[in-house]
Amino acid sequence: MKLLKDRILTEAKVMPGNILNVGSFLNQQVDIGLFNEIGKEFARRFVGKKVTRILTIEASGIGIACITAQYFNNVPVVFARKHRAKNIAGNVYSVGVTSFTMGVDYSVIVSKDYLRPEDSVLLIDDFLANGHALEGLAILTRNAGATLIGAGVVIEKGFQSGGSRLRDKNILIESLAVIESMSPEQGIRFRES
């Protein structure tokens, strides 16, 4: 998606630890015009697929998912919460996730009321790095007995393992910008689509 790649090239900063800072338009501050184009592009890439729920994870996925839902007939957006405690009880689906990017273990939790066996679920998130957050959402979807349509990702760090691991599990992933390599010295290179 050229508009997105241009924004990354002009505004993103490569930080220590292979972190891409896109706070000016995707994370701390969000560009709603760009989000609308992102939502339209996800709709184009998943055209013809029946989607009844968009599932994301707090925090940065929520805004993108909400704007995107407007291009999927205003389907409900469900967001999974992250809790450090592992012993969650009650009427929820829960799966443990280890984040290498964040260096923490957490549980990804969603209410059983909002994810049902008859649902067709599209996952949406801002980044795909090692992929454990998205994998957690895929497991929750499976545990609910729902159908996983695929995942829409804004920025995939193609040099990390998440994308290939999830595609090997037959999850359809559409990433709007795939970074092949990045460094403060060499800058950012995208994978050709």
| Interface with ligand G4P (CB under 6 A) | 19-20, 22, 27, 57-61, 99-102, 125-133, 157, 162
Strand partners, 156: 128, 178
Residue 48 CB, nearest approach to ligand G4P (Å):
27
Closer CB to ligand G4P, residue 133 or residue 146? 133
Residue 27 CB, nearest approach to ligand G4P (Å):
5
Residue 78 CB, nearest approach to ligand G4P (Å):
14
Which residues have a Cβ under 8 Å from the Cβ of 81 and sit 6 or more positions away?
58, 108, 109, 110
Return the closest-CA partner of residue 54 out of 153, 118, 123.
123
Give the CA angle between residues 136, 137, 142 to the nearest 5°. 95
* Cis previous bond, 146, omega within 30: no
Closer CB to ligand G4P, residue 101 or residue 147? 101
Closer CB to ligand G4P, residue 60 or residue 92? 60
Other CB atoms within 10 Å distance of the CB of residue 91: 7
Residue 91 CB, nearest approach to ligand G4P (Å):
23
Closer CB to ligand G4P, residue 115 or residue 129? 129
Closer CB to ligand G4P, residue 43 or residue 179? 179
Residue 47 CB, nearest approach to ligand G4P (Å):
25
